[in-house]
Amino acid sequence: MYNPEGFVAPDAPLIEALASDYRIAPLDKLAVNVFQVERLSGEYQVDLTGRIVMPLVGAVDAVNLTTDELQERLKQRLSVDYLKNPDVTVGVVAATGSNITVEGAVRRPGLYPNFGTMTLIQAVAVSGGMDPTANPKRVFVFRQVDGRRMIAGFDLTTIRNGQEPDPEIYRGDIIIVQGSKSKETWQQVFQGVQTFGIFRPI
């Protein structure tokens, strides 16, 4: 039986999505420009572990940083082995902070507004429901709690049968329904989730 006390609320959402102190969240899309280095310039999406992956540099932690802080981090990484005094600018192209994200084996994956109370079952429903490849017994919620990325797994079959409570979904949550065609990077994260209904650090 899930313990509802384990359904911890996330950190307060950021309303000023494009304010200078906005902190980057997983699945945000960023525009990175490295002056006169076209190979490194472009759009990058923050992955579920909070990183972007760039040529030469590799994986860079981006989550919870402002764009200015990420700029400085990229400058430091590039100046070590690749460029002398690199000129880097970072901007947010799409922010997920005031929405929920539903991905994986659903019919209409994407961003959806969450203006009030929403449960996990409702969140899956607004994305068109599960597609034929979905595994309803393995649905995962990613959440920012006390500055840390957390994950919890849920079984929609037991929730629908009334055997377990339907957890509340908050702004900024990322929901992924596991399926046979789920991305390999997601599968690697899912494998570490053994206890359902409890949020644990990634």
Handedness of CA 130, 24, 96, 145 (dihedral sign): positive
- The encoded tokens of residue 126 equal 């607004």
What DSSP element (H or E) covers 179?
Answer: strand 174-179
* pLDDT for the residue numbered 189: 66
Res. 183: pLDDT tops 70: no
Ranges of beta strands (E only) in 24-133 are: 29-34, 42-45, 51-54, 58-61, 88-94, 99-104, 110-113, 118-119
Taking only the tens place, the pLDDT of each residue in 34-89 is 998 999 999 999 887 889 999 988 999 998 899 999 999 999 999 988 888 899 99
Tokens of 111: 């961003």
Q: Is the dihedral of CA 130, 135, 138, 142 positive or negative?
A: negative
Mean pLDDT for the stretch of residues 143-153: 84
- Taking only Cα atoms into account, the Rg of the chain, rounded to an integer number of angstroms, comes to 18
Q: What are the DSSP E strand ranges found in 95-170?
A: 99-104, 110-113, 118-119, 134-145, 148-154, 168-169
Whole-number Å distance between alpha carbons of 43 and 52: 10
Question: What percent of the chain is modeled with pLDDT above 70?
Answer: 80
Q: Can you tell me the mean pLDDT for 19-47? A: 86
pLDDT band for 139, please (50, 70, 90 cuts). Answer: very high
* Secondary structure (3-state) at 184: helix
- CB distance 91 to 30 below 8 Å: yes
Structure tokens belonging to residue 135:
């595994």
Domains and CATH numbers, the chain: 29-94 (3.30.1950.10), 97-201 (3.10.560.10)
